[in-house]
Structure 1
Amino acid sequence: MMEMTPMSPRRPYLLRAHYEWLLDNDMTPHLVVDVTVPDVNVPMEFARDGQIVLNVAPRAVGNFEITNEEVRFNARFGGVPRQVYVPMSAIMAVYARENGAGMMFEPETAYDAELSSGVEDIEEPEDNITLVHEADLPDESSQEPSGDEPPRPPKGRPALRVVK
């Protein structure tokens, strides 16, 4: 029998592929995050049942990075700019808001070992969210409007004229 050599986790590769695929298809990617995993830095006031769903569309986040170990970005939550950090082991799923296309991630032994080794060291979680400066966020005026809100009409007099 052939011995299996250990391989790196596939989650970061699948996450990057699904993220790009959703963007290529004009969908809005969302991440489901387990907020009980150590080192997760998200706005806990928006978490429900140990999870939070994060809109990670380019128009919603700034300085977005997916590495093999983490996802990090800047975003506004309730109008307040925040810095978000999610270890790869805490990402449970990626999907499109519009139709649910995407995938849930299966448990991987590399992450199980990482989580079990840190369990003894865990103390009460703190809300370690960091405020970010306005300059770190994308300019809202240059962003296209999201599908959730109707476009705002320009201020001033209407530009339409009656032509006979």
Structure 2
Amino acid sequence: MVTVTAESGSILKPYILRATYQWCLDFGFSPCIQAIVCPATRVPRDYVENGMIILNISPIATHKLDLTNNDISFTGRFAGSAMEIWVPVKNVLTIFSKETGQGVTFENISKPEQRSDQQSEISKNENISERDHLVMIESGTELKKEPKKRKSAVGKRKSSAFLKRVK
């Protein structure tokens, strides 16, 4: 998973969203987004957990998908009913592949004071501007819980792929 740290209202974010979306499609994956739900966001409220929602934005799951610089909109089916979905790009926290869990996480920084003192010092010392930058997260740095081992029942198929809930 790659983490992108961006100032609120960044112009880089929609381009990274579209690139990751296209990457998912190129490899036959289903792109999903996790977004913060606010009063202006149009999403099915029944699927909101802890103020966030995960939406499958693959071509099979959506109709009239539009990924603009300001918002993501499409028509989707929820419990058999079509619904117009609208999410501002600034509310998107993650875009990832449903099958592999690989993708991009966005960390929004609205004010420079929110950065750690250490990061601020590094930026000042290296004359780095307050622009977007990418931070590579090694797979070994994430906390991983050991999955519970279940007894396999006769006649049941073993599942090798799983979807990890992003919080």
One-letter code of the match for 1:99?
A: T
Once residues 104 and 95 of structure 2 are traced to their aligned partners in structure 1, the CA distance between those partners, rounded to angstroms, is 6
- Structure 2-normalised TM-score? 0.59
- Name the counterpart of 1:90: 91
Q: Is there any run of 5+ residues in structure 2 with no aligned partner, and where?
A: 1-8, 112-167
Once residues 44 and 8 of structure 1 are traced to their aligned partners in structure 2, the CA distance between those partners, rounded to angstroms, is 27
Once residues 47 and 85 of structure 1 are traced to their aligned partners in structure 2, the CA distance between those partners, rounded to angstroms, is 14
Select the structure of larger CA radius of gyration. Answer: 1
- Name the counterpart of 2:15: 13
Once residues 78 and 31 of structure 1 are traced to their aligned partners in structure 2, the CA distance between those partners, rounded to angstroms, is 19
> What fraction of aligned residue pairs are identical, expressed as a percent?
33
Indicate conservation of the 8 Å contact 1:28/1:98, yes or no.
yes
Once residues 109 and 43 of structure 2 are traced to their aligned partners in structure 1, the CA distance between those partners, rounded to angstroms, is 23
One-letter code of the match for 1:48?
A: E
One-letter code of the match for 2:41?
A: V
- Name the counterpart of 1:32: 34
Once residues 44 and 76 of structure 2 are traced to their aligned partners in structure 1, the CA distance between those partners, rounded to angstroms, is 10
- Name the counterpart of 1:51: 52
For each residue in 1:86-131, what CA deviation from the matched residue of structure 2 results, as whole angstroms up to 9, or x when unmatched? Answer: 0111111000011101011121549xxxxxxxxxxxxxxxxxxxxx
Once residues 10 and 104 of structure 2 are traced to their aligned partners in structure 1, the CA distance between those partners, rounded to angstroms, is 19
Larger relative CO (CA 8 A, sep 6+): 1 or 2?
2
- Name the counterpart of 1:42: 43
User: What secondary structure does 1:13 align onto?
Assistant: helix
Question: Post-superposition, which runs of at least 4 consecutive aligned residues in structure 1 deviate over 3 A?
Answer: none
Which structure's residues are more often strand, by fraction?
2
Q: What RMSD, in angstroms, separates the aligned Cα atoms of the two structures? A: 1.6
User: What secondary structure does 2:107 align onto?
Assistant: coil
Q: Is there any run of 5+ residues in structure 1 with no aligned partner, and where?
A: 1-6, 111-164
One-letter code of the match for 1:100?
A: G
Length, aligned pairs only: 103
User: What secondary structure does 1:106 align onto?
Assistant: strand
Indicate conservation of the 8 Å contact 1:9/1:108, yes or no.
no
- Name the counterpart of 1:80: 81
- Structure 1-normalised TM-score? 0.60
